[in-house]
Amino acid sequence: MSVFETAIQATNSVLASRFPGYSFAFASGSIIRGEGTKGSDIDVVVVFDRLETAWRETFIEGDFPFEVFVQDPETLSWFFESDIARGYPVIIHMVATGHVLGPNRDKGQVWKDHAASVLRAGPLELVGEKLDALKYQITDLLDDLHGDRVGPEIRAIAAQLYQPLADLMLLGRGAWSGRGEWIPRLLRETDQELANRFDDAFRQVSRGNVEVLCNQTHAELDRHGGPFFAGDKRMASQQARRTSFVDLG
């Protein structure tokens, strides 16, 4: 059997033994797509008709690590909504690209088609408070990079900058963002030249040169009105209070 066939067989075994009564499921991840490497896991979204609460669990079955997200239609809708709000379509992508399994594959296919349409529609426009918060975070880190820093500090700041800068570059161009190894993939899909510049900028930091990264960061901020620091104000929730730990009499 191929790796794909073996992975699907293992997934069906897991579904039968660990999740009796489920309605449908989606097997996803690099192994299912035929892109797996050593250590790659199988992502599975398992959908029941009704649950008390959704959960996630990880385990190893046979030769495969599994990461399983257990949902019902209402909790799955909540996670879709959360993915859309954040601009990281984690669960949405699993469903859209997953291999549909289970006794109610027709229902699973409806969800798969819906997820694919959400991906095609793209993320919410990056505007308002979300844009300002992202620009503020990037501006603050950029100011730190401009300071007189030793190598370990520069690399630490650059590591913090990697995610928000990628978010600005992707979401700011109407493309979905992601985390970890998804960032270079998504940048390549959006603009190969942009991805190359991004990669080179962080490569230069590892060699002690921050100028390339600073210039690229300034260029991205300028696409959205420039750096943002003065004027930032974010109100805390009204629930953000507790009985005082200190008795002042």
Q: Are residues 218 and 174 in the same domain?
A: yes
| Cβ-proximal residues to 225 (8 Å cutoff; 6+ apart), any chain | 135
Mean of all residue pLDDT scores within the chain? 95
Closest CA to 46 of 78, 89, 12, 83: 12
For residues 55-69, give the mean pLDDT.
Answer: 95
Q: How far apart are CA 73 and CA 75, in angstroms?
A: 6
Residue 242 lies in a domain: no
pTM: 0.91
| Predicted pLDDT at 32 | 86
Most confident of 33-42, 69-78, 231-240: 69-78
For residues 150-156, give the mean pLDDT.
Answer: 93
For residues 72-101, give the mean pLDDT.
Answer: 98
Q: Residue 69 forms beta bridges with which residues?
A: 45, 56
Q: Are residues 94 and 13 in the same domain?
A: yes
- What confidence tens digit (pLDDT) does each residue in 84-96 have? 999 999 999 999 9
Q: Are residues 43 and 148 in the same domain?
A: no
**What are the tokens at 228?**
């943002």
Q: How far apart are CA 241 and CA 234, in angstroms?
A: 16
**What are the tokens at 173?**
């161009």
Domain containing residue 181? 128-222
Q: Are residues 98 and 195 in the same domain?
A: no
| Cβ-proximal residues to 97 (8 Å cutoff; 6+ apart), any chain | 28, 32, 33
